[in-house]
Chains A and B, each alone.
Chain A
Amino acid sequence: MKPTDIRDPEYFHKVVDCQYACPAHTPVPEYIRLIAAGRYTDAYKVNWDSNVFPGILGRTCDRPCEPACRRGRVEESNQEKPEPVAICRLKRVAADHKDADAVRALMPAPAAARNGRRIACIGAGPASLTVARDLAPLGYSVTVFDRDARAGGMIRSQIPRFRLPEEVIDEEVGYVLDLGVDFRPGVEIGSMRDLLGQGWDAVFVGTGAPRGRDLDLPGRREAAAHIHLGIDWLSSVSFGHTTKVGRRVIVLGGGNTAMDCCRTARRLGGEDVKVIVRSGFDEMKASPWEKEDAQHEGIPILNFLVPKSFVHEAGLLTGMTFEAVRAEYDAKGRRTLVPTGEPDRFIECDDVLVAVGQENAFPWIERDCGIEFDRWGMPVVDKLTFQSTEPRVFFGGDSAFGPKNIIWAVAHGHDAAVSIDLMLRGEPLDRRPAPGVSMMSQKMGIHEWSYDNQIAPEARFKVPWASAERALASIRVEVELGFDAATAWKEAQRCLNCDVQTVFAPRLCIECDACVDICPMDCITFTPDGEEADLRQRLNAPALNLAQALYVQDGLKTGRSMVKDEDVCLHCGLCAERCPTGAWDMQKFLYTKTKAGPGCGVPGDGERRAA
């Protein structure tokens, strides 16, 4: 195999599974160490730089980092239930325990002078706010329009208060607006053509996926008074327009919105709330923990039931009928739902919440204003630059590629801000800035490191909850209470510090086998070189996870290669502690995605920082 080029920042970036999986590439182990050290403010700032909304995401993130977390791989068959580090909840710890004044002091100052460029952001959701945060301090005049009275977008309108208190939204949205952003509440943009005519240097569209998909079944129109579209109903609850729901509620749909709907209904007088999904329980789109949370509140989830009709008596909804189905898979693994032949089921209810999906809607963008749309009504957007076919217009968040979640919107916002910055400086948009990379040895003594390399054996700690009676009594009582400092410290110990990399220097190696013998995971092998597929089979422990790289170095005296399987390495540093010559070193690899501003686009600068 070709020796691994560790100068390529993407190599070690991939080893930091959590950071690699995070769309915004938040340096997770870095902030977890800061939390363990009690430096909550610094941990908050590390988060804020990458993901803009640490307190919000620490409660609501879809957590792509956690399924990626190495802990879930190395505990497998070592512990009864392999569980990743509670990364998301540790992020919240940073937000909960930070020193608010100190955080404010760390925030960038509003630009002292404006550069004369005007940027319009449509919608004040996470994508637009990220664009505003990245560009306003650079001197751009950023104006954010939203049809609602307050900024936040779906964060404010769709996420129920018992998951995310209003103060947290106010605080973190406020950090952005305080950077000298011009926020225009209550303004609904009605025409893209007019907007483009107003001479904006760039327009960013971050209007989300604002339209809930409906179910056109018999009885839908007649019983409409008690049938609600999930996201509209949630925002109506959020803004206080809806305060009650019937005693018996059916929630249709298996995504996170359905989970929010059913739990909200439980708090507004719904005593008998059921979630009913077409698919099987395991295929539901909702995150596993959101399903658990709903079930924890006594909400049953009934699966393999396809809704057939709304049943009403003279326009008053009395229930719904469902057809029982089962899943069948063809040779290609495609699923079809086949009726089981059982008689249709009638389930009584007073209200139905329809949460079967969301759609984008751009009625305000004229189809002839230079922005091309595809046949599904989605704008044609460059995946790298987020630019539409009208060079001045950019899309991000759900409005770019359909419904995802907050962290994706933030990542899109960063990228779109980079594009806008490059464009307005007259530089090519497709030359993306190189990431900021630093590598620093953690060696402090013969076997002392500046990171805590001891591996904690504990299983994942549970986040405490408010008592069920208290939580269900009000929509405003937050259910999850967050880790206290002591538990947060213990959970932080579970982090394996995957960003502290094992770096091998072949010319120092005397091939004494000390690292091979001490490695608890049998990751390291000295062996004659071969093709990757062959090498993977004949290591001390087979390297079966093809998603993880082999670290290969040649140049040893015996002509063999050092091959390390990165898959299950604990980053405990024992190889480096046992190495008599310092051929192994533990080096902290810090990867930061370059944001708009200095360092972005200046030729050669990115490379210099990476070196």
Chain B
Amino acid sequence: MTWIAKPRLHHPSLERNRVGYTRRDYEGKISTLCAGCGHDSISAAIIQACWELDIEPHRVAKLSGIGCSSKTPDYFLGNSHGFNTVHGRMPSVLTGANLANRDLIYLGVSGDGDSASIGIGQFAHVMRRGVNMAYIVENNGVYGLTKGQFSATADQGSKSKRGVVNTDSPIDMVSVALQLGATFVARGFSGDKPQLVPLIKAAIAHPGAAFIDVISPCVAFNNHAGSTRSYDFVREHNEAVNRLDFWPSREAITAEYAEGEVIDVAQHDGSVLRLRKLAADHDPTDRVGALNLVQSRSAQGELVTGLLFVDPDPEDLHRHLGTVERPLASLGTRELCPGQAALDRINASLR
């Protein structure tokens, strides 16, 4: 962290986006995390992604649980809605908020403790239900706030800062999300923003349950030799399967690639996910293939990153429930209490 707030002065060339904001307008308070924390890089990536997407800050709701990662929504999007829930309960609050007002953009920010330990039940169900959100897990493999015990995502055999070897099997959040029906599953690395920013943009634009597992080294407790979440280890074992370019529907695609090098995934809203292939055998629309790839590479000690799976035509909770197009929160007495005649009709239909 730093003592002083980031000065308001900025580079003379700082640009405004279509809705009139500079990137700096998407910042939040000064971070109180440890200097060099990967989470701060993820915050910066979220800021960049929201600026590039021309999102109006008041249209975003950022929700989080408890933990280092769950503190971060205070450090970005200072003009957005926010909710810090009870530990591990962010998914249910997010689900409720989404049901009440489907017009907002939902950003769930959580960590490996919040989502893979105390909140794993909630995590499973929010994915199953297909809540329209971008769910980001800032995954460092340790409990940073309580001084570096292994979390549920720590690899078996990896060493803690004190030299203790982890004996438990890890939970792989990506595999869990794939199994439970998430319609957008990606993995990024806090130390690689050129890869991470487009993933966040695509996740936000994805009209369904989008999940990004972001490996985020804990500089205080998990950045030593023997750790599998250190900057050095992740850089050595990072196997990116593709590079994503995200093209919102209104923009013409300008990047050119040779045949066979790219996969275009057209989205429902007209936007295009253009994936530059790095692993020849990976088809990002194949859920089972993605699971196999993640598992087989993991067995070889490699961490696959990139956009692993996307369903081009996803369904979300509102579609499953058949709710009205208007946000429930905006419905008035007339719609909610349609009168005796309407009640009689319903009652009659149930007789």
Residues of A with Cβ closer than 8 Å to B?
Answer: 73-78, 446-448, 453-455, 457, 510-514, 516-518, 520-523, 541-542, 544, 557-558, 568, 570, 572, 574, 577-581
Contacts and interface: CB of A to CB of B under 8 A. Distances in A.
Contacts of B219: 510, 512, 580
Nearest to B15: A541
Contacts of B231: 510-512
Contacts of B6: 518, 520, 574
B139 to A, nearest CB: 16
B162 interface: no
Contact of B2 (A78, A447, A455, A510): A447
B3 interface: yes
Interface in B204-254: 217, 219, 223, 231-232, 235
B61 to A, nearest CB: 23
Contacts of B35: 446-447, 514, 577-580
Contacts of A516: 44
Contacts of B147: none
A513 B8 contact: no
A535 to B, nearest CB: 16
B13 A512 contact: no
22 contacts: A76-B12, A447-B1, A453-B4, A455-B9, A457-B7, A510-B232, A511-B191, A511-B231, A512-B36, A513-B41, A513-B190, A518-B40, A523-B11, A541-B13, A541-B14, A542-B13, A568-B11, A577-B1, A578-B2, A579-B35, A580-B35, A581-B36
- Grouping DSSP codes into helix (H, G, I), strand (E, B) and loop, the A interface class, with mixed when no group exceeds half, is loop
A542 B12 CA distance: 10
B interface bracket (residues with beta carbon within 8 Å of A) = 20 to 34
A322 to B, nearest CB: 42
Contact of B9 (A541, A570, A581): A570
Given A512-B191, A514-B36, A574 B2 contact: yes
A572 B14 contact: no
Given A511-B191, A513-B191, A514-B36, A75 B9 contact: yes
Contacts of A454: 4
A574 to B, nearest CB: 6
A78 B8 CA distance: 8
Given A510-B231, A512-B191, A74 B13 contact: no
- Grouping DSSP codes into helix (H, G, I), strand (E, B) and loop, the B interface class, with mixed when no group exceeds half, is loop
A523 B35 CA distance: 18
B2 A518 contact: yes
A518 to B, nearest CB: 7
B37 interface: yes
Contacts of B43: 517
A77 B12 contact: yes
Nearest to B230: A510
A544 B9 CA distance: 18
List of 10 A-B pairs having minimum Cβ-Cβ separation, nearest first: A580-B36, A455-B7, A517-B44, A541-B11, A577-B2, A580-B219, A512-B36, A580-B35, A513-B41, A514-B36
Contacts of A517: 40-41, 43-44
A570 B12 CA distance: 13
B4 A572 contact: yes
B34 interface: yes
B193 A513 contact: yes
Contacts of B12: 73-74, 76-78, 568
Contacts of A579: 35-36
A514 B221 CA distance: 17
Contacts of A78: 8-10, 12
B88 interface: no
B7 A447 contact: no
A455 B40 CA distance: 22
Nearest to A82: B12
B268 to A, nearest CB: 33
Interface of B: 1-4, 6-14, 24, 34-38, 40-41, 43-44, 190-191, 193, 217, 219, 223, 231-232, 235
Contacts of A446: 35
B11 A578 contact: no
Contacts of B217: 512
A577 B43 CA distance: 17
Nearest to A449: B3
A570 B235 CA distance: 31
Given A577-B3, A581-B36, A521 B10 contact: yes
Nearest to B231: A510
B147 to A, nearest CB: 16
A511 B44 CA distance: 15
Nearest to A71: B9
Contacts of B11: 521-523, 541, 568
Nearest to B220: A580
Given A513-B41, A513-B190, 14 more contacts: A78-B8, A511-B191, A511-B235, A512-B37, A512-B41, A514-B40, A517-B44, A518-B2, A521-B10, A523-B11, A541-B13, A558-B235, A577-B2, A580-B35
A497 to B, nearest CB: 13
A579 B34 CA distance: 9
Contacts of A75: 9
Contacts of A574: 2, 4, 6
B12 to A, nearest CB: 5
- Residue among B9, B190, B219 with most chain A CB within 10 A: B9
A510 B9 contact: no
A544 B10 contact: no
B38 A512 contact: yes
Contacts of B223: 510
B36 A521 contact: no
Contacts of B4: 453-455, 572, 574, 577
A516 B6 CA distance: 13
A178 B43 CA distance: 64
A336 B8 CA distance: 45
Contacts of B34: 580
B50 to A, nearest CB: 15
A498 to B, nearest CB: 14
B191 A544 contact: no
B40 A572 contact: no
B1 A513 contact: no
A510 B34 CA distance: 15
B68 to A, nearest CB: 14
Given A544-B13, A572-B7, A510 B44 contact: no
B277 to A, nearest CB: 21
A570 B7 contact: yes
B242 to A, nearest CB: 20
A520 B7 contact: yes
A28 to B, nearest CB: 20
Contacts of B41: 512-514, 517
A578 B36 contact: yes
Contacts of A558: 235
Contact of A447 (B3, B36, B232): B3
A520 B13 contact: no
A581 B219 CA distance: 9
A396 B245 CA distance: 64
Given A447-B1, A558-B235, A578-B2, A514 B37 contact: yes
